[in-house]
Amino acid sequence: HHQTNTQALDGKLAILDGQHRVGMMTILDNHKNNQKENLNLDQILVEVFPQHPSSNSTHAKDIFTEINKAEPVKLVDMPGVAKVTDRRIINEAATALQESFPDMFKPSQRCRAPHLNIDNLRDAIFASGCLKRHSIKSQKALVDWIMEQNRILGEKFESGDGKDTLKNVNAMALKKAKNFDFYLGLDLAWLYL
């Protein structure tokens, strides 16, 4: 159990994050009393951010905003999940693509097609297993393979062969992909070819 509280200058605590956990603990405590289960709800981890005299009146709001804008850790970045060499290859290739096509990358992990987010791309490359499936052993080999997939996607969208895929693509997204000759963000199925 974990919740985040703020402490005002007068010492009063307020729940900042984890309100749903308090509700759940209340239900579990009532259930425990009815079922005679051995749940220890008296010890929970509480993170407290005290307001310092020099901090402004938006202390709680600032902390809440900071907590909720945090992006989740990607699988590729989890310790012990990806091989160090694979992560290096993926990171370098994704960075090279972002540098080559800066207009097609967005900082938000919730960006829409035809854009990509570098962290989502890195994670998708890792999760797809394409390095192993295609025996990719270097950043250059990965970039070459990805650019070949981009070429194939471009031909598919230009020729109309991908009618099933085309009907799921926004016209404005396709127009931008064509303008920048970067189709990878329209459909991530290319990772599994």
| DSSP per-residue codes, 128-155 | HTHHHHTT--SHHHHHHHHHHHHHHHHH
Determine the pLDDT at residue 114: 95
Determine the pLDDT at residue 10: 76
Determine the pLDDT at residue 68: 66
Strands 45-50 vs 2-7: parallel, antiparallel or unpaired: parallel
Determine the pLDDT at residue 73: 79
What is the sign of the dihedral through the CA atoms of 31, 33, 37 and 43?
positive
Determine the pLDDT at residue 1: 46
Upper half-sphere CA count for residue 123 (Cβ side, 13 Å): 12
Determine the pLDDT at residue 11: 73
Low-confidence residues of the chain: pLDDT under 70: 1-7, 13-22, 31-46, 67-70, 161-167
Determine the pLDDT at residue 52: 75
pTM (2 d.p.): 0.66
Determine the pLDDT at residue 67: 67
- Rounded to whole angstroms, the Cα distance separating 53 from 31 reads 42
Query: Which two three-digit tokens encode residue 163?
Result: 């009618």
pLDDT in tens, 169-188: 888 999 999 999 999 999 89
